């Protein structure tokens, strides 16, 4: 196999099969095979039948002599190969480690040596005929050098972006470590205090229980002694009563009189005891006394109340203080990109395809009728609805000089020119408004002029539903904080008043 000493191109790819030399003024037959113009003419003239024209390669016969034109692309390729010193096409590598000679055209089975810039595709020499005719075709190694230069030009930019992201990642990792370290000691100490608190509560309750049981036992002991004494007196009384009954039953006069003195002695001996029993009876007739433990229960109630008051302060989850967060942190923690709801857009408001931009137009946009659509004020709501948690979004206002941006209840009016339908004109909406290069807060038809240096191009909005706060940011500073009941569904809202102006929700 012979190779060109200048280009290294395989001879059987760029040589005429008739003269076995590089193509000179190559032409291509209808069958797709190419030859030098002189070679094909001589071949046809040498035929015995001068009227018969065939292809020296595939032997296809053409009843009529084809009108062959010069294959400009193939001729140009041959010239380029001649002019490029030291080019070795067979060893060209478009991708490191992949030899072009080993990559063959799927259609013709020939080595891929060329690149079509018009179609941005790899090709072989045979591909020059057909759909690539008159296309800009160059050797693969030339386009390889060109594309490599393009990629090399992108390297510094890519390296810079990589370094920036690596720096951000390193900073975030460091913040995570610092956050973990800052909370670890506190958590351990809180665990120790919890154990101590458990022990204190257990000891307090045990002491109070012990006091109650002791008072109970003391009272029961005294009552038991009294019961024993009463039982003793009751037994004596029963014995005296038996004696009296026996004496009264003795009807014989002499016997009764003989025992009368003993009975009288026993009776008078028992009389003091009988009086004490009668006195005890009078005590028992009074309202029974019961131990009062209200003091102990009150002490325990005070302990419970103390802990309830303590729990009220720590019942909410421990959260980062807003004063500790900048807008970059808010984006990472609570950032979102609201989408505009086309069903709410006034016909003067055109919504972009990505549902992020609202543009004020003069002609009406052909929106269908909808109950949620504003029909007087050029306003639009987001399809996002919030009633819990924290949410942060930003709005690009560079392309507008008269706007209103805020939130509203989903139940705010939509039809008519009344204030109940205007953003900031009713109790159901809160907004920041720009008018004649001045900034105002608007809520329930009440406005406050704000001191805003310069003209912020990007505004931030933080909705904290639990705290009932809607904070407006401009150039990394707090412009205003609205307060309200945001535990009911609210939606981000936009109003654009000047024709041609646009306001856009920023993507994170």
Q: Could you report the per-residue pLDDT of 462-498, keeping only the tens digit for each?
A: 999 999 999 999 988 999 999 999 999 999 999 999 9
* pTM listed for this prediction: 0.44
Q: How many CB atoms lie within 10 A of CB 334?
A: 16
Question: What is the structure's pLDDT at 272?
Answer: 57
Say whether pLDDT at 245 is over 90: no
202 pLDDT band, cuts 50/70/90, is confident
Q: Which of 44-48, 236-240, 421-425 has the highest mean pLDDT?
A: 421-425
Q: In whole angstroms, what is the distance from residue 379 CA to residue 420 CA? A: 13
Domain ranges for the chain, please list them.
11-135, 191-313, 327-505
Q: In whole angstroms, what is the distance from residue 266 CA to residue 314 CA? A: 78
Average pLDDT of the residues in 127-155: 83
90 vs 393, which has greater pLDDT?
Answer: 393
Question: What is the structure's pLDDT at 286?
Answer: 42
Do residues 237 and 274 lie in contact, with contact meaning Cβ atoms separated by under 8 Å? yes
Q: How far is CA 34 from CA 58, 128, 135, 486, in A?
A: 11, 10, 17, 79
Long-range contacts of 280-287 (CB under 8 A, 24+ apart): 280/226, 280/230, 280/233
Do residues 494 and 503 lie in contact, with contact meaning Cβ atoms separated by under 8 Å? yes
Do residues 39 and 16 lie in contact, with contact meaning Cβ atoms separated by under 8 Å? yes
238 pLDDT band, cuts 50/70/90, is confident
pLDDT per position as a tens digit, 64-82: 888 888 888 888 877 776 6
Say whether pLDDT at 99 is over 70: no
- For the ranges 117-131, 250-264, 303-317, the lowest mean pLDDT is seen at 303-317
Question: What is the structure's pLDDT at 19?
Answer: 77
Question: What is the structure's pLDDT at 291?
Answer: 62
354 pLDDT band, cuts 50/70/90, is very high
Say whether pLDDT at 89 is over 70: no
Going through 106-257 in order, the beta strands assigned E by DSSP cover 114-116, 121-123, 137-139
Q: Residue 2 contacts by C-beta under 8 Å, 6 or more apart in sequence?
A: 11
Average pLDDT of the residues in 437-454: 93
Residue 303 token pair: 């302990």
In the chain, what is the straight-line distance between the N-terminal and C-terminal CA atoms, in Å?
61
Architecture of domain 11-135: 2-Layer Sandwich (3.30)
Q: How far is CA 442 from CA 56, 365, 446, 480, in A?
A: 89, 28, 6, 11
Instruction: Share the mean pLDDT of the chain.
Output: 81
Say whether pLDDT at 116 is over 80: yes
Whether the CA torsion 316, 320, 322, 328 is positive or negative: it is negative
Angle of CA points 60, 65, 69, to nearest 5°: 95
143 pLDDT band, cuts 50/70/90, is confident
Question: What is the structure's pLDDT at 493?
Answer: 98
Q: In whole angstroms, what is the distance from residue 52 CA to residue 64 CA? A: 7
Give the percent of the chain with pLDDT over 70: 79
Architecture of domain 327-505: Sandwich (2.60)
Q: How many CB atoms lie within 10 A of CB 458?
A: 16
Q: How many CB atoms lie within 10 A of CB 181?
A: 9
421 vs 13, which has greater pLDDT?
Answer: 421
Q: In whole angstroms, what is the distance from residue 500 CA to residue 201 CA? A: 70
Question: What is the structure's pLDDT at 93?
Answer: 36
92 pLDDT band, cuts 50/70/90, is very low
Instruction: Kindly tell me the burial class for residue 490, based on how many C-beta atoms sit within 10 Å of its own C-beta (0-12, 13-18, 19 or more).
Output: buried
Residue 4 token pair: 């060109």
Q: Residue 319 contacts by C-beta under 8 Å, 6 or more apart in sequence?
A: none
Say whether pLDDT at 429 is over 90: yes
Question: What is the structure's pLDDT at 388?
Answer: 93
Average pLDDT of the residues in 425-443: 96
Q: Is 411 helix (H, G, I), strand (E, B) or coil?
A: coil
- For the ranges 148-162, 186-200, 214-228, the lowest mean pLDDT is seen at 186-200
272 vs 123, which has greater pLDDT?
Answer: 123
Do residues 393 and 337 lie in contact, with contact meaning Cβ atoms separated by under 8 Å? yes
């Amino acid at each position: 196999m012979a190779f060109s000493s200048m280009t290294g191109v395989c001879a059987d790819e760029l040589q005429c099969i008739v003269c076995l030399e590089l193509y000179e003024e190559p032409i291509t037959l209808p069958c797709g095979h190419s030859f030098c113009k002189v070679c094909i003419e001589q071949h046809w003239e040498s035929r015995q039948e001068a009227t018969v024209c065939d292809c020296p390669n595939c032997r296809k016969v053409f009843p009529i002599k084809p009108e062959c034109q010069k294959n400009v692309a193939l001729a140009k390729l041959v010239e380029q190969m001649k002019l490029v010193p030291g080019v070795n096409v067979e060893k060209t590598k478009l991708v490191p480690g992949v030899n072009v000679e080993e990559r063959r055209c799927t259609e013709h089975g020939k080595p891929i040596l060329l690149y079509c810039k018009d179609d941005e595709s790899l090709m072989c020499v045979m591909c020059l005929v057909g759909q690539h005719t008159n296309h800009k075709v160059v050797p693969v190694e030339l386009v390889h050098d060109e594309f490599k230069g393009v990629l090399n030009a992108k390297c510094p930019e890519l390296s810079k972006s990589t370094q920036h992201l690596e720096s951000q990642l390193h900073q975030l990792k460091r913040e995570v470590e610092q956050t973990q370290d800052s909370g670890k000691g506190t958590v351990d100490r809180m665990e120790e205090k919890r154990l101590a608190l458990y022990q204190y509560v257990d000891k307090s309750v045990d002491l109070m229980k012990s006091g109650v049981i002791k008072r109970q036992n003391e009272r029961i002991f005294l009552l038991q002694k009294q019961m024993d004494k009463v039982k003793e007196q009751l037994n004596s009384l029963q014995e005296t009563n038996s004696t009296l009954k026996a004496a009264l039953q003795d009807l014989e006069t002499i016997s009764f009189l003989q025992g009368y003195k003993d009975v009288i002695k026993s009776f008078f001996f028992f009389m003091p005891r009988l009086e004490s029993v009668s006195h005890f009876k009078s005590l028992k007739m009074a309202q029974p006394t019961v131990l009062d433990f209200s003091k102990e229960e009150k002490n325990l109630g005070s302990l419970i109340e103390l802990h309830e008051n303590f729990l009220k302060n720590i019942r909410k989850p421990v959260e980062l203080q807003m004063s500790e967060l900048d807008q970059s942190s808010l984006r990472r923690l609570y950032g979102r990109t609201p989408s505009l709801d086309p069903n709410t857009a006034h016909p003067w408001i055109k919504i972009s395809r990505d549902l992020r931009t609202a543009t004020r137009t003069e002609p009406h946009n052909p929106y269908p009728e909808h109950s949620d659509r504003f029909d007087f004020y050029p306003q639009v709501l987001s399809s996002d609805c919030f009633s819990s948690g924290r949410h942060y979004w930003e709005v690009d206002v560079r392309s507008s000089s008269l706007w209103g941006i805020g939130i509203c209840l989903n139940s705010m009016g939509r039809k008519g020119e009344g204030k109940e339908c205007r953003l900031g004109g009713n109790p159901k909406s809160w907004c920041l408004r720009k008018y004649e290069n001045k900034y105002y807060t608007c809520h329930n038809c009440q406005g406050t002029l704000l001191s805003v240096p310069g003209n912020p191009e990007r505004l931030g909005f933080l909705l904290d539903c639990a705290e009932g706060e809607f904070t407006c940011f401009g150039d990394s500073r707090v412009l205003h904080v609205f307060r309200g009941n945001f535990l009911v569904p609210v939606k981000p809202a936009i109003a654009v008043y000047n024709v041609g102006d646009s306001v856009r929700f920023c993507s994170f």
